[in-house]
């Protein structure tokens, strides 16, 4: 097998897909971490504990 065939034109077509998936994963990770700083404020405003806040955030998703 010729080594030049192993890295042929089909491999270059995957770069945009990999870039798009990496960008999507980054956006999802950032969106999920935006809720963390307000969890204590949610508990105070809704007069509930950590279990109640956990239930509220998972029910809303």
Total domains in the fold of the chain: 1
Q: Averaged over 14-27, what is the pLDDT? A: 94
pTM for the whole structure: 0.45
C-alpha distances (whole Å) from 13 to each of 4, 10, 17, 18, 43 are 16, 5, 8, 9, 48
Residue 10 pLDDT level (bands cut at 50, 70, 90): low
Rounded Cα gap, residues 19 and 34, in angstroms? 23
Whole-number Å distance between alpha carbons of 49 and 5: 60
pLDDT (tens digit per residue) in 23-55: 999 998 888 787 777 888 889 999 999 889 888
* Residue bearing the bigger pLDDT, 7 or 57: 57
pLDDT of 1 above 80 = no
Which pLDDT does position 59 carry in this prediction? Answer: 80
| Domain assignment of residue 49, given as a range | 3-60
Give the separation between CA 6 and CA 26, rounded to whole angstroms.
30
């Amino acid at each position: 097998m010729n080594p030049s065939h192993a890295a042929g034109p089909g491999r270059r077509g995957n770069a945009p897909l990999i870039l798009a998936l990496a960008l999507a994963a980054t956006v999802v990770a950032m969106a999920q971490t935006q809720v963390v700083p307000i969890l204590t404020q949610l508990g105070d405003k809704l007069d509930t504990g950590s279990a109640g806040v956990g239930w509220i955030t998972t029910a809303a998703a």
